[in-house]
């Protein structure tokens, strides 16, 4: 990073890997998109057994109590239009599982926050709109 980042939105990929990420790499003020809460909630119900479900419940509760969640509101919806246009201009379709990533990117864009991710390749088509920080 060329400048010191003090605030950022964390992608779901960062949240699920928090236990292996060096805290020194994270900014002072981290928030998450409500879309991330949706992904974590869905993941809880997609668990194949009780042990996995319990582990995911612990993560969800930790995230809910630790991070401020940024809503996908009208500002984020307008930002999504810009994200959508960039993705289409790159010859891709923002559908399926990728759409969730782009909703998170739109949330970051609407708040002028960099997006920290473990999957920077998922955001290459929008890197001209949102600062993507790979961990």
Give the pLDDT confidence of 55-101 residue by residue, as tens digits.
999 999 999 999 999 999 999 999 999 999 999 999 998 888 789 99
Give the pLDDT confidence of 35-55 residue by residue, as tens digits.
999 999 999 999 999 999 999
Confidence tier at 1 by pLDDT (50, 70, 90): very low
Sheet of strand 29-33: strand arrangement: 68-70, 29-33, 7-10, 115-117, 132-134
> What is the torsional sign of CA 18, 107, 67, 127?
positive
Q: Is the pLDDT of residue 7 over 90?
A: yes
Q: Is the pLDDT of residue 16 over 90?
A: yes
Q: What is the DSSP letter of 130?
A: S
Query: Average pLDDT of 117-133?
Result: 96
| CATH numeric code, 7-21+29-134 | 3.40.50.1010
């Amino acid at each position: 990073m060329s400048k010191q980042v003090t605030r950022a939105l964390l992608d779901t990929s960062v949240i699920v890997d928090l236990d292996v990420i060096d805290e020194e790499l994270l900014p002072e003020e981290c928030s998450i998109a409500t879309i991330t809460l949706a992904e974590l909630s869905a993941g809880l119900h997609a668990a194949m057994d009780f042990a996995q479900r319990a582990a995911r419940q612990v993560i969800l509760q930790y995230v809910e109590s630790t991070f401020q969640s940024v809503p996908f509101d009208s500002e984020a919806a307008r930002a999504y239009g810009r994200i959508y246009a960039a993705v289409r201009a790159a010859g891709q379709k923002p559908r399926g599982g990728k759409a969730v990533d782009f909703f998170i990117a739109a949330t970051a864009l609407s708040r002028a926050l960099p997006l920290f991710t473990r999957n920077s390749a998922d955001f290459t088509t929008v890197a001209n709109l949102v600062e993507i920080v790979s961990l």
